[in-house]
Structure 1
Amino acid sequence: FVIARNSAFAYKGHAVDVTRVARELGVRYVLEGSVRKAGSRLRVAGQLIEAASGVNLWADRFEGGVSEVFELQDLVASSVIGAISPRLEQAEMARAKRKPTESLDAYDHYLRGMASLYRWTREGLEAALPQFYKAIELDPDFAAAEGAAAWCYFWRMANGWMTDPQKETAEVSRLAGNVAIAGQDDAVALAFSGLALGYVIGDYEAGSALADRALVLNPNCAAAWSASGCLKACHDDPDIAIEHLSRARRLSPLDPLTFFMQCFTAFAHFTAGRYDAAWPIAEAASRAQPYYLTGLRVAAASNAMAGRLDAASKHIAGSLRLDPELTLSNLKHRVGLIKPDYFARYVEALRLAGLPE
């Protein structure tokens, strides 16, 4: 929760001790800052502090003209929200992992699940799902945990880790349906669920509707822009997809999901036929997260269509080491029901890269 401005403003103009402020307001984190004016220029500085340790989690500054004060206000608001959200989540994960297991509540289980998920390995995912389900058991209306669980099935499908596709697909539909009802005020849960609906179920309209609801609820939510961009890259307009993914990266430049945003930016360039623009971005995504098979496949396809067959072959070899059963014939079970002409071009490119029939 966030303290109301009227309470926070009680400290304005005073030299304050962050630890005391946090204790008096009942919060774990304090965002403080200053505004300075020199002539017609304004400088706004801010920093996020973990009160218990005094550690500075984030700091930045913004400058603009006095005549642009409202634009500057919007820039500061969106940048602060986008930047501190992943930092707060990572700090909360670390706090939950330090907590004794016998005192965990639903939110702690959720955070432990997210920490395991962010390892991006099969073992991490298998450790994450039970944590999310335990959180849901403790709090049946916990939309964030249901959205994260649905998101896990997205990763299972993309990496070829599903063991019972029919059952897991039905579970995605159930979880996303619950989020649509209970997650009215949780943009991240809506975004994760929308992405899972579009990718795993192939219901682009329903998935996009949830992503759109997330963006209306919080236009500064990087996860919502990222989910929307991914869905549009697979089903719709590649240029709008790139715009949405770029917005996500601007809002959260140090996001742990940067590789995911890069991957689908590359795929959008691929579907638009801009192969020379696609392959460097796909390769950057693969370097950042070598266990993400979609990144390896997009890198292989983009290189192949750009005439870089040696590089394409290398990425196919990497894909097959991680997913030995991958073939052109079962590719649709990894990429879902994407737009037919996009899928046909993808198959053509991966055949050229050396993926077996």
Structure 2
Amino acid sequence: MLVRRSSKIIVALGVAFIALAALLRFVLVPSLSKLPGDLDVNPVYEGTGTLLNAQALQAGDIPNVIASGVPVTINRHIYVSSTDGDTAVAHDDVTLEVAGQAVPSNHAYAVDRKTMDAATGQPQDGVEPHSGMTIALPLHPDPSASYRYYDSATKTTVPMTYVDSGTVSGRDVLNYTVEAKGALSDPAIAGTLPPALPKALVSSLTPLLPPDVQQSLGGALEQLPDPVPFSYTAVTRINLAADQTLGTPIDANLSQQIIANIDVNGRLLPLTPVMSIDTALTDQSIADAAAAAEKTSTQLNLISVIAPLVLLVLGVLALAAGFLRRGPRPAALAPVSHEETPVR
């Protein structure tokens, strides 16, 4: 009786192991396979830029109006402030530091924690309407998928072009390129640029313009209002290496131009870039991104593959041991005959 009781305990333990394996694989893993609610990273880009020197412009110091080879730093703070089911409010706070000035441009997006595209359903307060990827690709990105990227400078969504696969800091990555061009729509950047300039100042800047622009401008400058209104075009180019497992950026290059335009007889004439930057993630940021991806993917693999498999094997072994321990059922005893022996 004791053997049969212990075999039942072992069988029950095997069933529990198998149930726990199923719980991990089909309940816990899906809840972990999405944007974490505690995301908080600070990637840094460094490079150089060509910029409009506002002080020289105001002083009429024409030869020094354009400053070239200026060191540029871009600090990004990417974090999740709240989650609601499969929706997260993700922040991408960008600060451009150049020539002793800091230009912050902060953005908040409601994103689907699984697809990493814009969240659907009820709109979130305080977030920027968008469509496309913003801070990362989804888990296990598909090279054949037609991902799209949201460019905050122009507030447009453009294709992400898959290039090839590779390796960065020991992590397998998928390489993409992005190019967005359109009217500058980021108020933080636009607020640092002059909406108009006195006609005399624009005239004095003409010799600094490319020859073809000078020719196009011709005598039209005299017909323009004073001050001369400006509009701006943003051109953004990104080379992105996304982790093949997590979809997070491991390496990236970011270049951006802000081009000043004037309206000449109803035709938009590009004059010159007033800002042109060329930056890349620092080595430390790349190393940090790779280390974080390695740690997270190892944990995900442990929870999604190794732990369920070990529990499943233990469960099967326990079931087998329990049934073997029970042994064959005892044979039924022959019935006792109570017939009386006849007296002779």
**Which TM-score band applies after superposition, normalised by the shorter structure?**
under 0.3
The structure number with the bigger radius of gyration is 2
Which one scores higher on RCO, CA 8 angstroms, separation ≥ 6?
2
Q: TM-score, normalised by structure 2?
A: 0.26
Question: Which is richer in strand?
Answer: 2
Higher helix share: 1
- What TM-score do you get using the length of structure 1 for normalisation? 0.25
